[in-house]
Amino acid sequence: MSDESQPFMFDRDAETMPRGNLTALQLRRLKKSLAHAYLKVPHVRRKFEAAGVAPDTLGSLADIAHFPFTEKADLRDTYPFGLFAVPREEVLRLHASSGTTGKPTVVGYTRADLDLWSDLMARTLACAGARPGDIVHNAYGYGLFTGGLGAHYGAERLRCTVVPMSGGGTERQVMLMRDFGAAVLCATPSYALNIAEVAAGMGVDIAGLPLRYGAFGAEPWSEPMRRDLEARLGIKAVDIYGLSEILGPGVAAECHVAQSGLHGWEDHFLFEIVDPETLTPLPMGDVGELVITTLTKEALPMVRYRTRDITRLSDEPCACGRTHVRIMRVTGRNDDMLIIRGVNVYPSQIEAALVGFAGLGPHYQIVLTRDGPLDAMTVEVERTGDAPGDAAACARLAGNVQHHLKSVIGVTCGVVVKAPGKVPRSQGKAVRVKDERAN
């Protein structure tokens, strides 16, 4: 039954659950999940004992603050399967994310975990605007990365028609989006931009296609980039969030109704914000590091996982009717933060300053070099095809961009204006920072 005043939801009962019921459900599930991890994972038991806690010391949700955090190092130290809480034979699927150094982070799923993931990804895609029967063009990478298969099974669970493209082969992607009549595009925002640009180059009016929504995630992106993607693709661009350590995509999603903060699925996850320095929990609305505890995962229960993502939560009622707390747009990951001459800079801040700047395309790359004892940052940007390309004009544009960036991020950086097409394009996850500092 379609009622325009009632946005479609995959699981309306769960998604609109009154706060009191949601809290009671969370407490019940949290107790069970803590006991599961404590009994089945020696590493977790040792950490609980060192902190002087046990599952039965938890009386309320706030008591979670006494429990130890889990960090990426815990996964590394127990590589590959040491945090699994079920016999390996019950794990039906493995995924892994490439670490910047050494071994990947390995995660596993039981049958029930895979079902949960499909359900939550179906919920996420519906929240982002997908409907049963839609053609979903899935350009997230397939393989060990959770993005491709996560979106794939979620879209099937929602009873959509999935086109399992994975990344790359962009001209072919455009052709099939046009020929099949995709309604929803799943991709990283940087790759969606690449698709839009390639379509324009092919003479395909992508904004005129039936495409209605983009479910974009797996990298931080800015509000100006959203507006740019919406204009280029003729869609509503919606932010989705997840991380493999917790589930993969499907942890939280913006609703296409409000496009303001991502509903975190609280019946399956407990969200906290902590001070990234002191690690003490912060009140609702304060900015800090997002910490997530899984409530129903079997193979890999996570207790207070430090995401490194800096954000805030909002419990303001949402226009869509969902009651789940909203994770406001992630400013950046702590690990991605650059410190340039003592000033903290996130690549997404630079993106927000550049997108829409007159004479510039939306592509950029940050290059870090050493300038004596200090780190120096150069931002490589690209002029648009209709901007003059002579040396004097480029120098003038670079000067204007440098001035603008200084006013936004508070630090002077070099700016190099490149010819159209000369900044590398994203094939999946964008490489925003090129580090050329010799160690």
Residue 246 vs 320, nearer CB to Zn ion: 320
Q: Tell me if the bond preceding 80 is cis, omega within 30° of 0.
A: yes
Minimum Å gap between C-beta 30 and Zn ion is 24
Alpha-carbon distance of 388 to 85, in angstroms, equals 61
Q: Does residue number 121 form part of the binding site for Zn ion (CB under 5 A)?
A: no
Residue listed under structure tokens 């053609």 = 135
Q: Does residue number 155 form part of the binding site for Zn ion (CB under 5 A)?
A: no
The residues that bridge with 433 in the sheet, in sequence order, are 366
Q: Judged by CB under 5 A, which stretch of 157-165, 248-256, 269-277, 288-296 contacts Zn ion?
A: 248-256
Specify the amino acid at residue 176.
L
Residue 218 vs 255, nearer CB to Zn ion: 255
Instruction: Residue 95: name the closest of 86, 87, 85, 84 by CA.
Output: 84
Minimum Å gap between C-beta 172 and Zn ion is 35
Minimum Å gap between C-beta 229 and Zn ion is 20
Minimum Å gap between C-beta 262 and Zn ion is 9
Minimum Å gap between C-beta 285 and Zn ion is 17
Residue 322 vs 432, nearer CB to Zn ion: 322
Q: Judged by CB under 5 A, which stretch of 10-18, 314-322, 342-350, 352-360 contacts Zn ion?
A: 314-322
Minimum Å gap between C-beta 211 and Zn ion is 22
Residue 7 vs 359, nearer CB to Zn ion: 7
Alpha-carbon distance of 356 to 223, in angstroms, equals 11
Between 317 and 356, how does the x/- string for binding to Zn ion read (CB under 5 A)? -x-x-x----------------------------------
Cβ–Cβ < 8 Å for 341, 411: yes
User: Where in 256-275 is the site for Zn ion (CB under 5 A)?
Assistant: 258
Residue 15 vs 134, nearer CB to Zn ion: 15
Alpha-carbon distance of 254 to 129, in angstroms, equals 10
Q: Does residue number 255 form part of the binding site for Zn ion (CB under 5 A)?
A: yes
Residue 122 vs 139, nearer CB to Zn ion: 122
Residue 83 vs 320, nearer CB to Zn ion: 320
Q: Judged by CB under 5 A, which stretch of 140-148, 206-214, 316-324, 373-381 contacts Zn ion?
A: 316-324
Alpha-carbon distance of 276 to 309, in angstroms, equals 10
Minimum Å gap between C-beta 325 and Zn ion is 11
Phi and psi torsions of 231, nearest 5°: -70, -45
Minimum Å gap between C-beta 125 and Zn ion is 14
The residues that bridge with 379 in the sheet, in sequence order, are 366, 415
Q: Does residue number 240 form part of the binding site for Zn ion (CB under 5 A)?
A: no
Non-local (6+) Cβ contacts of 372 within 8 A are none
Alpha-carbon distance of 250 to 267, in angstroms, equals 13
Non-local (6+) Cβ contacts of 391 within 8 A are none
Between 197 and 236, how does the x/- string for binding to Zn ion read (CB under 5 A)? ----------------------------------------
Q: At what angle do helices 223-233 and 347-354 cross, to 10 degrees?
A: 50
Residue 263 vs 268, nearer CB to Zn ion: 263
Minimum Å gap between C-beta 214 and Zn ion is 17
Q: Does residue number 126 form part of the binding site for Zn ion (CB under 5 A)?
A: no
Query: 393: which 2 tokens?
Result: 């004009």
Q: Does residue number 252 form part of the binding site for Zn ion (CB under 5 A)?
A: no
Instruction: Determine how β-strand 135-138 pairs with β-strand 105-109.
Output: unpaired
Alpha-carbon distance of 326 to 329, in angstroms, equals 9
Minimum Å gap between C-beta 57 and Zn ion is 35
**Alpha-carbon distances, residue 418 vs 94, 319, 331 (angstroms):** 42, 43, 27
Q: Is 172 helix (H, G, I), strand (E, B) or coil?
A: helix
Instruction: Residue 378: name the closest of 342, 340, 324 by CA.
Output: 340
Q: Does residue number 64 form part of the binding site for Zn ion (CB under 5 A)?
A: no
Under the rule (CB under 5 A), what is the footprint of Zn ion?
A: 255, 258, 318, 320, 322
